[in-house]
Amino acid sequence: MSPPKTLLLGIETSCDETACSVVAEGHQVLASVVASQVDLHRKFGGVVPEIACRAHLQAIIPVIDEALTRAQVSLSDLAAIAVTYTPGLVGALLVGVSAAKALAWTLGIPLVGVNHLEAHVYANFVVHRRIELPFVALVASGGHTTLYQGEHVLDMRLLGGTIDDAAGEAFDKVASILELGYPGGPEVEKLAREGDPKAIDFPRSFLGKDSYDFSFSGIKTAVLYYCHGQNVAQPRRKLSFSRQELADIAASFQEAMVDVLVGKALQAARNTAASSVLLGGGVCCNRALRERITREASDQGLALYYPPAELCLDNATMVAGLGWELLRRGRLAPPELAAVSELQL
């Protein structure tokens, strides 16, 4: 008889998705439930922390129940609870952390605290059973843009990160300037397909030859000035571009973002003698980015891995998966685990 599988319940509430997954042995997904708050935040054009916290509170228990039901397991089958405790909106993280602590304590099972960005990297290990090591990982999401170098997902060094806006934030803000929908990334990508990526030469900020940091506030402002002029008035006038002109702006902006993200990830891979590049976070759903990095990584002899869209976007499967790795190494969270909003360097 095969030994019983180690089942983890993962909980993710760092931003605007209340998610819960049941995962065996770090990669067999028995259930993954994601309750998105996107409809609540749409009219504000971004995530409103107070609304996010309240929505997490309302959703957390039903989402946990739904995950257990879909997985056809009960609480007593769980070996541990894994929860995202950093980084993110502190009030949002607190909902997941409190639920996880209460569950672990009442069930008498271990609690594991997971870093959300490392979980985005781990998403690759859920789907790719053999990953060439060492790797460089690019996490590009709505809240963060970070580059890591690693031998293992539990042994990663942060190479750099954004000094201002995150990549996803830049996509969302440009979508708002172009009067597209929210969240903006997929809308910009859709419109960009009709445009010429060489039409407008938006600035690419590389912050020095060997820097692994990112800066996206300049390009966002460049798009704003391109659309409204430098003396942009509040409230802004309606845009008077044709569909083709708008598509050219979207495509040129996306091209500049891809140049920087792909350029820095591959430069980091070269400089650290990595064998592979891993992608994670919502922006890595972007097809232009995937196509470019697939081509250039292959030209440089690098293996490339990325998760499917549902594992690039926020989810709790990656949390349960990384939680399993931590559990195996005895890296448990203390019962007083706190929510930490800022990324600790």
List contacts with ligand KG4 (CB under 6 A).
15, 141-143, 168, 171-172, 183-186, 189, 281-283, 285-286, 313-314
Nearest approach, Cβ of residue 306 and ligand KG4 (Å): 12
Distances (CA, A) of 274 to 77, 150, 279: 39, 9, 14
Task: Give whichever of 80 and 257 is closer to ligand KG4, judged by the CB atom.
Answer: 257
Q: How far is 198 from 202, CA to CA, in rounded Å?
A: 9
Name the nearest CA neighbour of 64 among 75, 54, 80, 52.
75
Q: Which does 172 bind (CB under 5 to 8 A by kind): Zn ion, ligand KG4, none?
A: ligand KG4
Residue of minimal Cβ distance to Zn ion: 141
Task: Give whichever of 18 and 141 is closer to ligand KG4, judged by the CB atom.
Answer: 141
Nearest approach, Cβ of residue 273 and ligand KG4 (Å): 28
* Span of 45-53, 160-168, 267-275, 314-322 interacting with Zn ion by CB under 5 A: 314-322
Among 115, 141, 149, 215, binds Zn ion (CB under 5 A): 141
Q: Are strands 80-86 and 111-115 parallel, antiparallel or unpaired?
A: parallel
The edge-to-edge listing of strands for the beta sheet with 303-305 is: 155-161, 145-152, 135-140, 276-280, 303-305
Task: Give whichever of 270 and 287 is closer to ligand KG4, judged by the CB atom.
Answer: 287
Nearest approach, Cβ of residue 159 and ligand KG4 (Å): 19
Alpha helices in the chain (DSSP H): 38-41, 49-71, 90-107, 116-127, 167-177, 184-192, 217-228, 243-271, 287-299, 309-312, 317-328
**Residue 183: cis peptide before it, omega within 30 degrees of 0:** yes
Nearest approach, Cβ of residue 237 and ligand KG4 (Å): 25
* Span of 36-44, 135-143, 272-280, 300-308 interacting with Zn ion by CB under 5 A: 135-143
Please give the DSSP secondary-structure letter assigned to residue 163.
S
Structure tokens at 155: 């042994």
Task: Give whichever of 134 and 160 is closer to Zn ion, judged by the CB atom.
Answer: 160
Cβ proximity of 317 and 32 under 8 Å: yes
Task: Give whichever of 169 and 314 is closer to Zn ion, judged by the CB atom.
Answer: 314
